[in-house]
């Protein structure tokens, strides 16, 4: 085989060592590069306005092969400075020719070109590619997180809507709407009353069985009088007026704080004046004219004479035989009649936390009795048969009847312990529960807002990262093109030195 046909293969990582080992470049070539760079910087200060030069010098690291192109361009722009001997008098041309000579001394240009080529292949191009890949990866991750945030937002919003539906509110003003839901509580309690009224047979059976006519007092009261106030249950008389305590929390939705009043209004304009007006008590009206009664100041006749005639027309005799009816004076009944229901006494039995629990206890007591009675009726045990013989007086019920009674008691308990009615009780009587419930719903809304902001940020970040990736692609393409050009120059220069043999720079994955 002819030697000229044997290719010269040089690995990119070994290019610098190969050039030094073949004595093409000096091993101390780094010391001279600084002088060349300084000369280039000085030459760049005085350049003609030429489009080709601007394009050539824009953002590139100028090397020996660029200098050759610059001189070719200057031959056209500085042709007027060429003398009859073929040399140029232009300082620009002289500066760049001097740079070219510095490069060619000891083949410095080959050492620098080899270094630039190796650095581009090993570091610059892979680094730009890595940045592009990283930007694209981060952009995809941001977009995926944004999509996940949308799913999470939908889940939270659905949970919020479901919670609001269960509470029967829209969720615009949570505390205000929860307060409005309390209007449904009397209707729910009236349904409970109907269920309790249906327990007359069961209560009668328990009363006869226990021989205690005072058993289940609250249940009996509800069956007889309905869901009355606690005041009426305690004093067996309806109050004249009811002053139910205000709600124990503030309605502060959407910064509209509504301070619940804790003042008691007695319904009149009377006021007690403890001023310096001789220590008198002013009730706000004139007693001399109140209720049309005219009180005149006159003398009291003690019957002592004093020289005056008892039958004098200016004197009036007091008659103690006038009845109360004739005098027009009305005496109120004794006891609590005509009172005002306040505080807990103003609540209805099923609305008062304490009395509601007592009603539940009585219903559970009745339920336990019916279950035990049902067990006694269904068993065949001798002991229970003897026990039943002692109850021959209670023959008005059987297993089927007791089962029906038990079902009605269970229905009454269930109607009084539904999740909705318990929530309404908690809302009305527990400010802590209202705050917890409100904060729980608001937390979901805040989480939804946070997820919406996160989506916006992630989308913007994804767009920005994609933009960075797109902006780097022209840089990568330009860098690859320059590296390929540099590779051709190096291979061509080495080939000339070895009788035009084929030179292959290996490992340049462009």
Give the confidence band of 284 by pLDDT, cuts at 50, 70, 90: very low
pLDDT-derived band at 250, boundaries 50, 70, 90: low
28 assigned to some structural domain: yes
pLDDT, residue 396, reads 64
Spatial separation of the C-alpha atoms in residues 452 and 146, rounded to whole Å: 9
- Residue 33's domain comprises 3-132+469-506
Better-scored residue on pLDDT, 243 or 192: 192
Mean pLDDT along residues 82-100: 79
- Looking at the predicted structure, is the pLDDT value of residue 262 above 70? no
Mean pLDDT taken over the chain: 78
pLDDT of residue 493: 93
pLDDT of residue 271 exceeding 50, the answer is no
CA distance 406 to 335: 40
Q: Give how far Cα 435 sits from Cα of 158, 171, 353, 442, 449, Å.
A: 21, 14, 19, 10, 20
Nearest residue to 111 via CA among 63, 70, 41, 59:
63
Which band of pLDDT confidence, cut at 50, 70 and 90, is reported for residue 48? confident
**Average pLDDT value for residue range 368-389:** 68
* pLDDT per residue as tens digits for the range 143-199: 999 999 999 999 999 998 888 887 778 877 787 887 777 788 888 888 999 999 999
pLDDT of residue 57: 75
Q: What is the pLDDT of residue 119?
A: 93
- Decide if pLDDT at 459 tops 60: yes
Does residue 72 lie within any of the structural domains? yes
Q: Count how many domains the chain has.
A: 1
**Percent with pLDDT over 70 in the chain:** 76
- Model confidence over 306-363: pLDDT tens digits? 444 434 444 444 454 544 344 444 444 444 445 787 777 888 888 888 998 999 999 9
Q: What's the maximum distance between 2 C-alpha atoms anywhere in the chain?
A: 177
**Tokens matching residue 152:** 């999470």
More confidently predicted of 156 and 433: 156
> pLDDT tier at 286 (50, 70, 90 boundaries)?
very low
Has residue 237 been placed in a domain?
A: no
Give the rounded percent of residues in the chain with a pLDDT score beyond 90: 33
Residues 402 and 374 sit within 8 Å (Cβ to Cβ): yes
Could you tell me the CA-to-CA distances from 431 to 30, 249, 350 in Å, in that order?
82, 5, 19
pLDDT surpasses 60 at 461: yes
- The reported pLDDT for the residue numbered 56 is 76
**pLDDT for the residue 93:** 86
The predicted model gives 452-463 an average pLDDT of: 94
CA separation for the pair 369, 359 (Å, rounded): 15
Using the predicted structure, report yes or no on whether residue 238 has a pLDDT greater than 70: yes
Tokens standing for residue 354: 């304490």
Report CA 28 to chain centroid distance, whole Å.
68
Give a yes or no: residue 498 inside a domain: yes
Per the domain annotation, does 86 fall within a domain?
yes
Residues 6+ apart with CB under 8 A from 253: 172, 173, 174, 175, 176
- pLDDT exceeds 90 at position 423: no
* pLDDT band (50, 70, 90) for residue 375: confident
The whole model's pTM is what? Answer: 0.57
What does the alpha-carbon distance between residue 508 and residue 322 come to, in Å, rounded to a whole number? Answer: 133
What's residue 15's pLDDT?
Answer: 92
Model pLDDT, residue 248: 62
pLDDT at 490: 94
Q: How many CB atoms lie within 10 A of CB 284?
A: 10
Nearest 5°: the CA angle 133, 505, 129 is: 5
Closest by alpha carbon to 19, among 113, 99, 126? 113
Q: What mean pLDDT do residues 400-423 have?
A: 89
Is residue 257 in some structural domain? no
Lowest mean pLDDT among 165-174, 202-211, 388-397, 482-491: 388-397
How far apart CA 462 and CA 466 sit, in angstroms, is 6
Q: Are 421 and 182 in contact (CB under 8 A)?
A: no
Residue 79 located in a structural domain: yes
- Say if 311 falls within a structural domain: no
Tens-place pLDDT, residues 31-42:
888 999 999 889
- pLDDT(53) > 60: yes
Which pLDDT does position 477 carry in this prediction? 93
Using pLDDT thresholds of 50, 70 and 90, give the confidence band for residue 118: very high
Nearest CA among 403, 411, 404, 326 for reference residue 363: 411
């Amino acid at each position: 085989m002819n030697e000229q046909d044997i290719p010269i293969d040089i690995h990119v990582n070994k290019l610098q060592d190969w050039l030094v080992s073949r004595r093409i470049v000096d091993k101390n070539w780094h010391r001279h590069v600084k002088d060349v760079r300084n000369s280039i910087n000085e030459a760049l200060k005085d350049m003609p306005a030429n489009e080709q030069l601007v394009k050539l010098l824009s953002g590139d690291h100028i090397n020996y092969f660029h200098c050759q192109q610059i001189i070719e361009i200057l031959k056209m722009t500085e042709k007027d400075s060429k003398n009859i001997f073929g040399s140029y008098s232009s300082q620009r041309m002289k500066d760049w020719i001097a740079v070219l000579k510095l490069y060619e001394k000891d083949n410095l240009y080959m050492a620098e070109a080899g270094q630039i080529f190796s650095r581009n292949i090993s570091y610059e191009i892979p680094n730009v590619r890595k940045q592009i890949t990283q930007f694209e990866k981060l952009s995809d991750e941001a977009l995926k997180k944004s999509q996940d945030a949308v799913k999470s937002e939908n889940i939270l919003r659905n949970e919020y809507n479901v919670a609001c539906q269960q509470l029967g509110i829209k969720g615009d003003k949570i505390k205000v709407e929860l307060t409005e839901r309390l209007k449904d509580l009397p209707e729910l309690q009236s349904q409970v009353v109907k269920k309790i009224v249906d327990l007359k047979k069961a209560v009668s059976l328990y009363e006869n069985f226990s021989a205690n006519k005072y058993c289940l007092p609250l249940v009996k009261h509800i069956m007889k009088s309905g869901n009355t106030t606690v005041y009426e249950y305690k004093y067996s008389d309806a109050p004249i007026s009811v002053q139910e305590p205000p709600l124990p929390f503030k309605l502060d939705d959407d910064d509209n704080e509504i301070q619940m009043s804790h003042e008691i209004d007695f319904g009149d304009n009377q006021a007690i004046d403890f001023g310096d007006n001789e220590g008198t008590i002013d009730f706000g009206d004139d007693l001399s004219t109140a209720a049309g009664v005219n009180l005149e100041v006159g003398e009291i006749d003690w019957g002592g004479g004093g020289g005056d005639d008892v039958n004098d027309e200016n004197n009036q005799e007091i008659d103690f035989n006038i009845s109360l009816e004739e005098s027009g004076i009305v005496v109120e009944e004794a006891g609590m009649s005509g009172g005002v229901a306040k505080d807990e006494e103003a609540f209805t039995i099923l609305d008062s936390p304490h009395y509601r629990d007592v009603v539940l206890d009585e219903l559970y007591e009745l339920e336990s009795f019916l279950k035990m009675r049902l067990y006694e009726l269904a068993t065949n045990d001798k002991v229970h048969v003897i026990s039943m013989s002692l109850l021959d007086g209670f023959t008005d019920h059987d297993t089927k009847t007791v089962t029906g009674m038990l079902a009605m008691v269970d229905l009454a308990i269930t109607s009084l312990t539904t999740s909705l009615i318990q929530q309404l009780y908690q809302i009305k009587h527990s400010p802590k529960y209202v705050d917890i419930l409100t904060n729980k719903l608001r937390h979901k809304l805040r989480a939804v807002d946070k997820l919406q902001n996160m989506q916006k940020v992630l989308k913007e970040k994804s767009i920005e990262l994609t933009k960075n990736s797109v902006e780097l692609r022209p840089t990568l393409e330009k860098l690859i093109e320059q590296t390929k050009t540099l590779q051709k120059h190096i291979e061509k220069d080495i080939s000339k030195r070895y009788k035009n043999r084929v030179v292959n720079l290996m490992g340049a994955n462009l």
